[in-house]
Amino acid sequence: MTVAAGEQAPDFTLRDQNNEEFTLSAYRGKQAVLIIFYPLAFTGICTGELCSVRDDLHTFQNDAVQVVSVSVDSVYSHKIFSEREGYQFPLLADFWPHGAVAQLYGVFNEDAGFANRGTFLVDRTGVVRFAELNGPGEGRDAQTWRDAIAAL
């Protein structure tokens, strides 16, 4: 089951493209966190969605909110991906155990071996305030994320 709005967000710790740990619960009481699960780095729709965040970063990452993206790619793939595309936000590696965080959030695609397109806005208390799930090949509209952030 996918984590729904109104539920407590499952806590996790993953490493970003700089091999630094990111722990969701470290943001409690400080900032909301927008979590963007995507299937794979270097693919068309995924790149386009993350470039939308990059191009309007001040909306998604500021004093009130932190944005992170999550895929099953390795830290090393994320490093190259972030450098190539100029991403200035954490790209988290749900590499091993393979897709464990995506499974916690109910967005892991068992047949394909990667995360579906799940997006979760977690407020400062750790409660999910916005949740969406799209399958592979179904792009998301970043405006819905802006609207969810504005509604916090």
Provide mean pLDDT across the span 64-84. 98
Q: What is the pLDDT of residues 118-139, one digit of tens each?
A: 999 999 999 999 999 998 889 9
CA distances, 117 to each of 26, 36, 104 (Å):
24, 7, 14
Does residue 51 carry a catalytic annotation?
Answer: no
Q: What is the pLDDT of residues 18-48, one digit of tens each?
A: 999 999 999 999 999 999 999 999 998 999 9
pLDDT, position 136: 81
Residue 90 Ramachandran class (φ > 0 left, ψ -120 to 50 alpha, else beta): beta
Q: Where are the domains of the chain?
A: 13-150
pLDDT, position 36: 98
3-state SS record for the chain = CCCCCCCECCCCEEECCCCCEEEHHHHCCCCEEEEEECCCCCCHHHHHHHHHHHHCHHHHCCCCEEEEEEECCCHHHHHHHHHHHCCCCCEEECCCCCCHHHHHCCCEECCCCEECEEEEEECCCCEEEEEEEECCCCCCCHHHHHHHHHCC
Architecture per CATH, domain 13-150, reads as 3-Layer(aba) Sandwich (3.40)
List the catalytic residue out of 46, 70, 115, 133.
Answer: 46
Report whether 115 contacts 37 (CB < 8 A): yes
Share of the chain above pLDDT 90, in %: 96
Residue 1 has pLDDT above 90, yes or no: no
d(CA 114, CA 76): 17
Report whether 17 contacts 9 (CB < 8 A): no
Largest CA distance in the chain: 38
Please give the mean pLDDT across all residues of the chain.
Answer: 97
Confidence band of 64 (pLDDT split at 50, 70, 90): very high
Confidence band of 54 (pLDDT split at 50, 70, 90): very high
Both tokens assigned to 131? 């949740």
